[in-house]
Amino acid sequence: MRASNHLIGLLNFLTFLLSLPIIGGGIWLSSRANTTDCLKFLQWPLIGIGVTVMIVSLAGFGGACYRNTFLMWFYLFVMFFVIGALVGFIIFAYAVTERGSGRPLPNRAYFDYYLQDYSGWLRDRVADDSYWAKISSCVRDSGSCRKIVRTVNGVPETVDMFYHRHLTPVESGCCKPPTVCGYVYVNETAWDVGGGVVGGEPDCGRWSNDQDQLCYACDSCKAGVLANLKKSWRKVSVVNIIVLIVLVVSYVIGYAAFRNNRRIDNNEPASTARMTKSKPGWFSV
């Protein structure tokens, strides 16, 4: 019985440690939301799940160490729903980021991004005017477009150098006009619109060389934010899948050990072969 308690205590200590990467993933998403992703939503449920796992694991650890049946039942009951919530979180994150990616361009290292390539709940949320006003302001304040400006010996880098840069989705979608517009490169955030094809793409008319405007009102900028969100959420989901597998294995082993403890406490033999006499012996008195 003592060995079973030690096993349960060890498993609960392990789940306590597993709560740290869950909380860390939520904090990382929160930091991304304040800088480049600019959509504060998914990090709070993730942080809540991580904190719950931490508290419940401590309850299970205490229940194992002090053989407190109530704490062990509390651990098993709540952890079941926590695992279900983590499964739901992973499914949701993959479902809302299923579609959409950048379009490769000839003789370019970066991609162009189009809002029509994305669909579903996340696109509708980002494209909504009330949400986009806050998101675009966040993107502008993050300084992403200011950071892409480079100079060589005091002059802007050449167009060929720019074409071979690996821009982030936000940098490509928000800081320059779509390639289809045909605008002429001046520097990373300034383009000569003289010979551009404005009528072919609505974003071409939304582009502005005003450094406070650029393409923040463009659908390509919304698509860039969606692409950033997809990358961030997928990275966190991979970690969560690993954590989920370990949590499920720990839960199953912990439940089996807890049942074994209950059987021992109730003086139930694990397996016995009882022999009974069907008739009294010859020499019985």
pLDDT for residue 4: 58
Whether the CB-CB separation of 183 and 214 falls below 8 Å is answered with no
pLDDT for residue 78: 86
**Pairwise CA distance, residues 216 & 38, whole Å:** 13
pLDDT for residue 5: 61
pLDDT (tens place) for every residue of the chain, 285 residues total: 455 566 777 777 888 888 888 888 878 777 766 666 576 666 777 788 888 888 888 877 777 677 677 777 887 888 889 889 889 988 988 888 888 888 999 999 999 999 999 878 888 888 888 889 888 888 888 888 988 988 887 788 899 999 999 999 999 999 999 999 889 999 999 999 876 555 578 999 899 999 999 999 999 999 999 998 888 888 888 888 888 888 888 788 777 767 766 665 565 554 444 444 444 444 343
Q: Domain spans of the chain?
A: 1-99+233-265, 103-225
Long-range pairs for 149-152: beta carbons < 8 A, 24 or more residues apart: 149/187, 149/188, 149/189, 150/188
pLDDT for residue 269: 52
**Global confidence as pTM:** 0.77
End-to-end CA separation in angstroms for the chain: 42
Whether the CB-CB separation of 75 and 60 falls below 8 Å is answered with yes
pLDDT for residue 97: 81
pLDDT for residue 265: 58
**Pairwise CA distance, residues 37 & 250, whole Å:** 34
pLDDT for residue 223: 94
Within its chain, how far is the Cα of 80 from the centroid?
Answer: 21
The string of pLDDT tens digits covering residues 189-211 is 999 987 655 557 899 989 999 99
